[in-house]
Amino acid sequence: MKKSFLIMVALIFFTTFAFAGGDQNQNRHDGELGEGATQQQRIANPNIDALQVTQLDVPLKELIYSIYEEEKVARDVYITLGELYPDENTFANIQLSEQNHMDAVRKLCVKYGIEIPADDQPVGVFDLTEMGELYSYFVDLEDDSLISALQVGIAIENMDIENLREALNTEGMPKDAIRVLNNLLNGSLNHLDAFEAAYEREALQ
């Protein structure tokens, strides 16, 4: 009888410790690692994730939207230059990648309640004045040559890389946004390599 009682006490103690440890692990995983609200918080307030989304401050929202439009600048410029130089596949290939970048940032905008046009705007049309000016600047080539157009591609990708790296170091940037920006950065580095290779090929002719 005494032995059975001790076994029961041990089981109760183990079960209590396991539940306590599980709560602590859940708190540690969700809280410290930034995966969101803890399980207990979600049970108490099922809308907590939605509330956290709205807590993104205005400067961060503006930064994320500016990245969206900057990706659109790249895509629109490459569409325009690709029409001027249809035999240069670099523009056609990378404009498709830039569209994927825009789609990825659009999803962030929707998630975080950042105002964004419901439909993709026409080539060369932007909400932000400075982005419209950038587009006009890049498509106004110094001379009508493919090599000048490829230099524009190099300049755009260098600009994107610099701005994305700066955005990644912005305090308060959400983890899912950081993942997206890192993907964009890796894509821009690949785009830069492609434009530089095309430029070198054209320069040797």
Q: Does one domain contain both 128 and 29?
A: no
> What is the model's pLDDT at position 16?
36
Helical pair 175-203 and 89-111, crossing angle rounded to 10 deg: 170
Question: 113 and 196 share a domain?
Answer: yes
Tell me how far the alpha carbon of residue 88 is from its chain's centroid. 28
Are residue 44 and residue 73 in the same domain, yes or no? no
DSSP state of 145: -
pLDDT, averaged across the chain: 81
Give yes or no: residues 40 and 110 share one domain.
Answer: no
33 and 110, same structural domain?
no
Beta carbons within 10 angstroms of residue 143's beta carbon? 7
Q: What is the mean pLDDT of residues 68-87?
A: 97
pLDDT for residue 120: 82
Same domain, 6 and 104: no
Domain that holds residue 17: 2-50
Map residue 166 onto helix, strand or coil: helix
pLDDT digits (tens, 9 = 90+) for 175-201: 999 999 999 999 999 999 999 999 999
103 and 68 within one domain? yes
- Sorted by sequence, the CB contacts under 8 Å of residue 161 that are 6+ apart come out as 185, 188, 189, 192
Do 38 and 71 have their domain in common? Answer: no
One domain for residues 16 and 76 = no
Please check whether residues 93 and 28 belong to one and the same domain. no
Question: Are 101 and 171 in the same domain?
Answer: yes
Q: pTM score, two decimals?
A: 0.74
**130 and 182, same domain (yes or no):** yes
Is the pLDDT reported for residue 95 higher than 80? Answer: yes
Domain count, the chain: 2
Provide the terminal-to-terminal Cα distance of the chain, rounded to the nearest Å.
96
Does the pLDDT of residue 46 top 70, yes or no? no
Q: CATH no. for residue 87?
A: 1.20.1260.10
